[in-house]
Amino acid sequence: MERLQSRIIPAGPRLSLLDALVSIALPHSYGVLDLSSQVLAEALEITRVELEAYVLLPLGEEAAISYASGRIVVRHELIADAIVDICIEDRYDLAGAVRRVVRAAAARISRSGYTAGLGSLAYISSRIEDLPELALAAADAAIEAAPDRLSYRTFKSSVLRGFKRTRDAAAIGESSLSLLQDADNSSQARSFLTEWGVVEGMLGNFGRNAVLAGIALQDSPALGRIRESGCHLPLSGLLLALRRLQEAEPDPDLLAGLAAVSVVARQLSRGIVTTWLRDAERLVERNEVPFPSLRDGSAVDRGLRAGLLVARARLERPFPPQLPRMDFSFRELREFVRG
């Protein structure tokens, strides 16, 4: 690594072969094996011909990297980990390295469209659980490359939440609402609202938590289609938020909402927070409130709407005006759950 640091790439912004090696090792160390020559060349600000001549061939001769099937990786995951560990000890600018790679991947997504390989690099912040500043550098780099892409804001909020910076995460939700007006973000809207709801719940704002989860689950073409993988978190959030609101100030409509959410969540039990589901069901049973049948869609809708209207009346503070309408209609969710 010391020798590679002294070997300057004779093109681009005069980075070294060590900079190139770290750009390859860093994603590999976090389980991302999708670095392509196109992304690496863009990250190093050189052409693919220059990359081959000045980076891949020299690093290959050093037996440092492997390049096959269009992917560039370090020879072994343990070597990638060792490179990152040495960089930490030597105070190498890992944040700069991750910014280069993420910006390049996010820029290619903006130009050419999303692919799983590019996505794993652009969203690598979600995999970095040990180094907060590195994770935030990766999240910020994606936003800098595509400031209008809502999902990058969602992932930054998740990173902040994971590192206990919950109020900063809530600020992301407030400041990013205008991006919901962009039709290109419709497929990302439900995840954004769900993440924001989780953050509000962590802050004890259970009225806001419930409303955001309810909007994330309601019928709305502007929010994209409901998918099973996107239901678990908002349903779990609703179970907790409505229960906490009921415990703070009992209301029969909150119990009706809890009964309806419980029925839907029980049908999708895999992925639902089990303890929250059972706590909600016990609370409903203790109060002798009937659970609606999924076959009676109107009863499920009435229960969900009743609970959410109480939550809306108890908002800890108003939402900005850009928040989607709270129609609280759940036909698509019911039909999806019933199969």
Q: Indicate the average pLDDT of the chain.
A: 94
User: For 15-74, how does the pLDDT look when each residue is reduced to its tens digit (9 = 90+)?
Assistant: 999 999 999 999 999 999 999 999 999 999 999 999 999 999 999 888 788 887 789 999
- Chain centroid to CA 149: 12
Give the pLDDT confidence score for residue 64 in this predicted structure: 81
R_g of the chain, CA atoms, integer Å: 24
Task: Report the share of the chain in percent with pLDDT over 90.
Answer: 85
Model confidence at 339, in pLDDT bands (50, 70, 90)? low
What is the amino acid identity at position 267?
Answer: Q
Give the pLDDT confidence score for residue 113 in this predicted structure: 94
Give the pLDDT confidence score for residue 74 in this predicted structure: 94
- pLDDT of residue 106 exceeding 80, the answer is yes
User: For 115-152, how does the pLDDT look when each residue is reduced to its tens digit (9 = 90+)?
Assistant: 999 999 999 999 999 999 999 999 999 999 999 999 99
Burial of 86 (0-12, 13-18, 19+ CB in 10 A): middle
Q: Which residue has the higher pLDDT, 224 or 239?
A: 239
SS3 content of the chain, % helix, strand, coil (to 5): 70, 5, 30
Mean pLDDT throughout 148-166? 97
User: For 174-211, how does the pLDDT look when each residue is reduced to its tens digit (9 = 90+)?
Assistant: 999 999 999 999 999 999 999 999 999 999 999 999 99
- pLDDT of residue 338 exceeding 80, the answer is no
Burial of 326 (0-12, 13-18, 19+ CB in 10 A): middle
Give the pLDDT confidence score for residue 334 in this predicted structure: 86
Give the pLDDT confidence score for residue 336 in this predicted structure: 78
Give the pLDDT confidence score for residue 188 in this predicted structure: 94
CA distance 161 to 237: 15
Contact yes or no for 66/74 (Cβ under 8 A): yes
Give the pLDDT confidence score for residue 224 in this predicted structure: 86
CA distance 5 to 24: 15
Give the pLDDT confidence score for residue 227 in this predicted structure: 85
User: Which residue pairs from 83-90 have beta carbons closer than 8 angstroms and sit at least 24 positions apart in sequence?
Assistant: 83/1, 83/21, 83/22, 83/25, 83/29, 84/22, 84/25, 84/26, 84/29, 86/1, 87/22, 88/131
User: For 254-273, how does the pLDDT look when each residue is reduced to its tens digit (9 = 90+)?
Assistant: 999 999 999 999 988 788 89
